[in-house]
Structure 1
Amino acid sequence: MTTAVKAKHRQQPAQKSFFQRVGLPVLIILVGLLVLMYPVISTQWNNHVQEQVAKQYEEKLQVVPPEQVNRAHDAAVEYNRTHTDGPILDPWLARISEDNAEYKEYERHLAGVSAMSQLAIPSIDVRLPVFHGTSDNTLQKGLGHLYGSALPTGGEGFHSVITGHTGLTTATLFDDLVDVKEGDAIYISTFGKRLKYQVYETQVVLPDETDSLRAEAGRDLLTLVTCTPYGINTHRLLVHAERVPLDEDEAKVLDESTSTIQWWMWVLGAVALIVLLALIWWIIREKKKSDRKDAITREVLS
């Protein structure tokens, strides 16, 4: 190589290394993928946490003396008998003050463990804890029992109402309640008593249309409530169910794990996978190009 060529080569700006050229774009893309997948990851994590709370509810009851559990259940049944005319208000439009003395009395029943009850709907892979009331905080972490309706102990003339969100970006909750059909089973466990209800009707009503949530003589009823349509929430979806006999084998659904992967999770997962594969292909291509340039440079300098 002549001295002139060498001098010209020395005057050229230093070439960026492979890692300098691809590092920033790769970092940006990976951060974007994390942002894209955050709703899926957070939803799945919160679903797991809520299911664990439901599981722990049963485990905690196992260490409480049976006579104490029975007394608590019997007290809740008596509370239902003496509070048949409670206010039935839409949980998202009107709520009783939690500082109210009657509400404080309500909270003392079926208390002392991680939740009031746990509820399972096998047809949509739901297993969730049920808490007292319908405050914003309560409905972020699980299902809420509607104050004014009967505590979920079962019994003729009682009507329990359980509410849950649809459309949260961080949990599934009642997103799939719209898929529950007539004849589907709903199971609820309350302080050692496991009950089965069978869906007989679904309704879409305005928020102030609460007549169907009232108790009916001689019937043991359970209604699940959520907002509808998805993301608009101008109406309420009511899933009405009536108690039916429970076989011991069926009760096991309250101990089984669930797995809820919704369609939008599959879509985001597929997009993330495609982007990740494209990123890997681009990195490999850039690495080959970098290796070729390095080989040419070594050949020129040799």
Structure 2
Amino acid sequence: MKISKKNTALSLFVMVLGAAGYFYLTQNDKPDYSETQWRTFYGEKPVDYRPEFWVTYYGSEDKSACYKSGAISVVDGTSKVEKEIYQEFIAEETNNGKNYVIRYPDKFKQNGCVYSSGGGKLYIEEKSDDPRLSQEPYDDIEQVYRRAVIYAGDVAIISVRPDDAKEEFKMSPMYINRPKYNVFCTKLNRKDDFNIENSGGVFRRLWCYSSSIEHGIEKYMQFDAYTRSFWNTHPDIEFNFKVSKKIYCGTNNNFCSKMGLPDFDDALLSPENFEKFYEKGDE
């Protein structure tokens, strides 16, 4: 899959920002993307769900503009604290909502400082017209009330590591430099004893999962790493999503039997069974 050419990337980015609305800049603080690498997550998904990518950018130049004024690290009491810019990129949909793409800049310049991401968090949530989901300011997508309205969940933490980390990760249960994932998300209902935000006694969540066997090692999607050289030469990463048709029990008490919810068979998600289960689903 090709990413956008540089002369169209900025307009696409502005369109994404218009949908998300989280880039806190004034008219005079426009970022410079002339030297950035545009990164892309893309794939298939259910029409009623939409992925997002959450990024925190850190100032990476040795200039005062790149650090918080007067802030000192609590770790050693001397190091300056880098400025941060947080942003949420909501997927653009294609093919009548069956496909998606998320584009975001790996870095950008602003006020004489270079801001870099080094990865972020991939997240997915159910679509809904409930007005509580668009309350302003929209700056905490994990607020408790959202779990009373929609199914949502974290997919993976994605980080960029030095090239010499490759051998270490190859022998670990975490993925390294994987260009494609098939992800199955299970809908779970959990008991809400306190009926927070009028949940009706139910909290909803997605439990997203992927696994395989590589070089004799069982691998599980949770904290996915990429070496710097791979990250720089592979700007497109494919994440395909399926969501369960059934709703499963998310607690181990009589709430499950009262609600008539089945338990999910975790064995289906084992590295030996996962790809076959992903293709078939839980119908």
Q: TM-score, normalised to structure 1's length?
A: 0.26
Greater helix fraction, Structure 1 or Structure 2: 1
Greater strand fraction, Structure 1 or Structure 2: 2
Structure showing greater Rg: 1
Q: TM-score, normalised to structure 2's length?
A: 0.27
